[in-house]
Amino acid sequence: MRRFSPSDLMDAYEILSDPEIAKYEHWDAFDMEDTRADLEIQGAVEPGTCEVWNEFAVTLREGGKCIGNISFKRSEADQGQVEMGFHFNRSFHGQGYGMEAVAGLIDWLWGLGVHRIWAVSDTRNTASWKMMEKLGMRREGHFAENCCIRGEWADEYLYALLQPEWRARKPIP
């Protein structure tokens, strides 16, 4: 996990331009200019900044290819609430990289003095919410027709985690 750099453009484009990745998101698949602009915006965000998305590249140890992004958005610092999200190149799904990266992000967030981490997932995005459950996050809610994605109302699940729950969890398989 590291900050994005301009050299990640093609790898980030591979992820963000994939219609299957954007399928459950409020945004459409990115074109090259959207990807370039996103990397520039993220390059200017100081990690830990409140009220904006902080995105990080997930890279392979061997060769440094960017295979995903993990992100978080802090509420006001005194509230201690963080929303997180993640996207991974489909060529690397099911290999444990997502679990490892998101677990690393969660560990890092506790170091910022965060009290509660939460995330939402479209209920149809089974891989996403199952990974959150494997990470020890608890489902706190099911929001019926909570968001409109490309003209279709969709349900979302809300997951959350407190630091004592994270520390008490069973090892991740």
Q: What is the pLDDT of residues 71-125, one digit of tens each?
A: 999 987 667 899 999 999 999 999 999 999 999 999 999 998 899 999 999 999 9
Token couple for 72:
């978080």
Q: 159 near 132, Cβ under 8 Å? A: yes
pLDDT for the residue numbered 68: 96
Q: 41 near 30, Cβ under 8 Å? A: no
pLDDT for the residue numbered 169: 82
**Structural domain boundaries of the chain?**
2-168
Containing 81, the helix (H) or strand (E) segment is strand 81-88
For 36-64, write each residue's pLDDT tens digit: 999 999 988 988 888 899 999 999 999 99
Task: Find how far residue 78's CA is from the centre of its chain.
Answer: 22
pLDDT for the residue numbered 47: 87
Topology at the third CATH level for domain 2-168: Aminopeptidase (3.40.630)
> Percent of the chain scored above 90 by pLDDT?
80
Q: Look-up: residue for tokens 């979302």?
A: 156
| DSSP character string of 82-123 | EEEEEEE-GGGTTSSHHHHHHHHHHHHHHTTT-SEEEEEEET
Q: What is the pTM of this model?
A: 0.90
